[in-house]
């Protein structure tokens, strides 16, 4: 009977590569979203039901535009990273690579569209 430590059993099984980096990236994004989402809601909530001109004037100020842009960037990046983990778990082979590329492109396209809309209002 061989007594092997956990490390000895793991040797030769391959490295985890970027698992820790991905884990911490997701954690940091989650904490950022814990701050940004309520800030986004409380920044944009008072404008619900306001006239169009008042809404444009309010959103053209720097603080609401920055809050919206940060929420958009962090939110869609978090979506892309989370979707990648799900795809890696449930899709295999060439389809996995194709679906990861498509979801990443979709996420960045939505992010750029939102940022363009914010820039259009704010500038």
Spatial separation of the C-alpha atoms in residues 103 and 84, rounded to whole Å: 8
3-state secondary structure 3-51: CCCHHHHHCCCCCCCCHHHHHHHHHHHHHHHHHHHHHHHHHHHHHCCCC
Whole-number percent of the chain with pLDDT over 70:
93
Domain range for 34 is 16-122
Number of structural domains, the chain? Answer: 1
CATH number at residue 63: 1.20.1300.10
pLDDT at 1 over 60: no
Q: What is the mean pLDDT of residues 15-27?
A: 80
Mean residue pLDDT of the chain comes to: 91
28-47: pLDDT as tens digits: 999 999 999 999 999 999 99
Residue 5 lies in a domain: no
Please report the pLDDT score of residue 64 as a whole number.
94
């Amino acid at each position: 009977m061989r007594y092997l430590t956990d490390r000895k059993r793991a040797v030769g099984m391959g490295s985890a590569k970027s698992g820790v980096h991905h884990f911490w990236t997701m954690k940091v994004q989650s904490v950022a979203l814990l701050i940004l989402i309520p800030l986004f809601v409380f920044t944009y909530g008072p404008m619900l039901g306001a006239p169009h001109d008042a809404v444009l004037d309010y959103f053209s100020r720097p603080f609401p535009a920055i809050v919206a842009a940060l929420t958009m960037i962090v939110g869609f990046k978090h979506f892309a990273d989370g979707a990648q983990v799900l795809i890696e778990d449930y899709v295999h082979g060439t389809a996995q690579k194709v679906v990861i590329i498509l979801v990443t492109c979709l996420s960045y396209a939505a992010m750029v569209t939102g940022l363009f809309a914010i820039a259009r209002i704010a500038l």
